[in-house]
Amino acid sequence: MLKIDFHIHTHEDRDNNISYNAYDLIDRAAYLNFDAIAITNHNLLTYDNQLESYARDKEVILFSGLEQSIDHKHVLLINFPSPESLTTYNAIETSKTSDTLVIAPHPFFPGMQSMGKKMYGLTHLFDAIEFCHFYCPQLNFNREAVRYSKKFGLPMIGGSDAHVWEQFGNCYSLVNSAKNKSDIIRAIKAGHVQTISSPLTVTKMITIYLKILKNKPSLKRSLIRIHGIINRLRNVSETRNILK
């Protein structure tokens, strides 16, 4: 059985200020005995011959991948030759081969970037559906994904969606396959895959979520602006008190 994770972000991701880069991730993957991973930064392919060779030296298979935004919805594209050029569902559909993998990440989690009800009109597009690590016994948005997987016969694949180290290694898949790219993808499509995951505590969920938010450049800019406005209001108030 091969240990894999096909949903991981790194410092190269333009949408996040992540502390570790692609090489750090490969080192950590090797340390945690992963057999294969994919770096899936937002709308950005973080993959080249040098990275693949570095991973191979660590006995880790590195798949090309990215988390593409299609109509503001996220889609994981694994092992496509030019995934950044695929900007419509139709383009993805016509580019699929036996050696590519299309995964619906966190499909029923709240937020506009998850597929939600749109999944029911795109069943033909996806090869697998993600079971995401971010859940606890009291709150688990994966339940609808599990029901969907069973109803439509789509394999379920564990993904960390890691943006901070605490996420990586908490949710992954075991694939019954030979250790090469083609066989791994074919095994997943055939359903020879098992999700390994444990629920987080509520405290751990909150801690991880706050760390992710802290790494969002847009949030940082917003907080800086809010802090500036508060300071200006405070200065105006102090000035008025002085003038009284």
48-57 in b/e burial notation, b at 16+ Cβ within 10 A? Answer: eeebbebbee
| CB-based burial label for 147 (10 Å; 0-12, 13-18, 19+) | exposed
Residues of the chain with pLDDT > 70, as a percent, come to 89
pLDDT of 74: 96
Residue 231 pLDDT grade (very low, low, confident, very high; cuts 50, 70, 90): low
Measured distance CA(53)–CA(47) in Å, rounded: 10
Element holding 161 (H helix, E strand): none
Res 236: pLDDT: 40
C-alpha 42/C-alpha 190 separation (Å) is 27
Local confidence band at 210 (pLDDT 50, 70, 90 cut-offs): confident
Kindly list the strands in the beta sheet with 36-39, ordered across the sheet, starting from the edge strand earlier in the chain. Answer: 61-63, 36-39, 2-8, 171-175, 193-197
Q: Predicted confidence band at 14 (pLDDT cuts at 50, 70, 90)?
A: confident
Whether residue 221 has pLDDT greater than 70 = no
pLDDT in tens, 184-204: 999 999 999 999 999 999 999
Distance separating alpha carbons of residues 233 and 9, to the nearest angstrom? 38
The reported pLDDT for the residue numbered 219 is 54
Q: Kindly list the structural domains of the chain, giving each domain's residue range(s) and its CATH number in brackets, ordered by start.
A: 2-200 (3.20.20.140)
Mean pLDDT for the chain overall: 90
Task: Quick: pLDDT tens for 52-75.
Answer: 999 999 999 999 999 999 999 999
Predicted confidence at residue 218, as pLDDT, reads 58
